[in-house]
Amino acid sequence: MRAEQTRNQPVEERLIFGEHQALLPVEPALATPHHYTVEEYFALEEVSEVRHLYYRGEIFAMSGGLGFHNIVKQNCVISLRLALRGKGCRVYDENVRLAVREGELYTYPDVMVSCHPDDSPDKIMMHHPVLIIEVLSPGTESHDRIWKFSRYTQLASLQHYLLVSADKWLVEWYRREPSGVWSFTPLAGQEDAVTIPELGITLPLAELYTELDIQPQLDKP
Q: Is 191 within the bounds of a domain?
A: yes
What does R_g of the chain's alpha carbons equal in angstroms?
17
Element (H, E) at 106: strand 105-107
Q: Is 216 within the bounds of a domain?
A: no
> Does 77 lie in the same domain as 179?
yes
> Does 150 lie in the same domain as 92?
yes
- Domain edge (last residue) among 48, 63, 78: 63
Indicate the pLDDT class of residue 15, thresholds 50, 70 and 90: very low
With beta carbons less than 8 A apart as the criterion, state whether 101 and 151 touch: yes
Indicate the pLDDT class of residue 214, thresholds 50, 70 and 90: confident
> Does 32 lie in the same domain as 75?
no
- Domain edge (last residue) among 47, 63, 79: 63
In terms of residues, how long is the chain? 221
Indicate the pLDDT class of residue 34, thresholds 50, 70 and 90: confident
> Does 55 lie in the same domain as 31?
yes
Mean pLDDT over each residue of the chain, to the nearest integer: 86
> Does 134 lie in the same domain as 121?
yes
Q: Is 221 within the bounds of a domain?
A: no
Residue 97 domain boundaries: 68-208
Domain total in the chain? 2
> Does 16 lie in the same domain as 117?
no
User: What percentage of the chain exceeds 70 in pLDDT?
Assistant: 83
pTM recorded for the entire structure: 0.84
> Does 163 lie in the same domain as 99?
yes
> Does 79 lie in the same domain as 37?
no
We report the CATH number of the domain holding residue 195 as 3.90.1570.10
Tens of pLDDT, residues 50-86: 999 999 999 999 876 678 999 999 999 999 999 999 9
State residue 219's pLDDT score: 57
- Domain edge (last residue) among 14, 42, 63: 63
Check residue 57 and report its DSSP letter: T
Residue 138 CB-density burial (10 A; 0-12 exposed, 13-18 middle, 19+ buried): exposed
> What average pLDDT does range 84-113 have in this prediction?
96
> Does 123 lie in the same domain as 37?
no
**Sequence-separated (6 or more) residues with CB below 8 Å from residue 49:** none
Tens of pLDDT, residues 153-201: 999 999 999 999 999 999 999 999 999 999 999 999 999 999 999 999 9
Q: Is 218 within the bounds of a domain?
A: no
State residue 7's pLDDT score: 39
Indicate the pLDDT class of residue 19, thresholds 50, 70 and 90: very low
> Does 74 lie in the same domain as 177?
yes
> Does 152 lie in the same domain as 86?
yes
> Does 73 lie in the same domain as 59?
no
